[in-house]
Homo-oligomer: A and B are copies of this chain.
């Protein structure tokens, strides 16, 4: 059960008690404990609230992604990127990638 593992890790890192989280979500301590042990599955609503509480995404909690913070590979068809609210064009993204690579190249040759 991926979500129980993720919840357990996050809570321990933040050094929060079961009771604290239960209070935040307005559920019983034993209920949340069930989530971490894998004995119970949180409702969809609870998953959303837990993601907010832990400052992560539901995709991370559910194990769809391993990135705790939404991290994006800057590559072509993948992402829609904006600057000042305006979409960066594909050509511009190509240039950005080239720029970063060139910069790293120079760094590595120092």
Query: A95 contacts which chain B residues (CB < 8 A)?
Result: 99
The verdict on A106 contacting chain B, using a C-beta distance below 8 Å, is no
Q: How many monomers of this chain does the complex have?
A: 2
> Which 5 pairs from chain A and chain B are nearest by CB?
A71-B80, A58-B58, A83-B100, A73-B82, A74-B83
Interface range on chain A (Cβ under 8 Å from partner)? 35 or more
Chain A's interface: helix, strand, loop or mixed, by majority?
Answer: mixed
Contact A71–B62 (Cβ < 8 Å): no
Q: Which of B62, B74, B85 contacts A44 (CB 8 A)?
A: B62
Contact A70 B70 (CB under 8 A): yes
Task: Determine how close the nearest CB of chain B comes to the CB of A72; give it in whole angstroms.
Answer: 6
Q: Which residues of B contact A48 (CB under 8 A)?
A: 62-64
Give which listed residue, B58, B73, B84, B99, contacts A59 with CB less than 8 A. B58
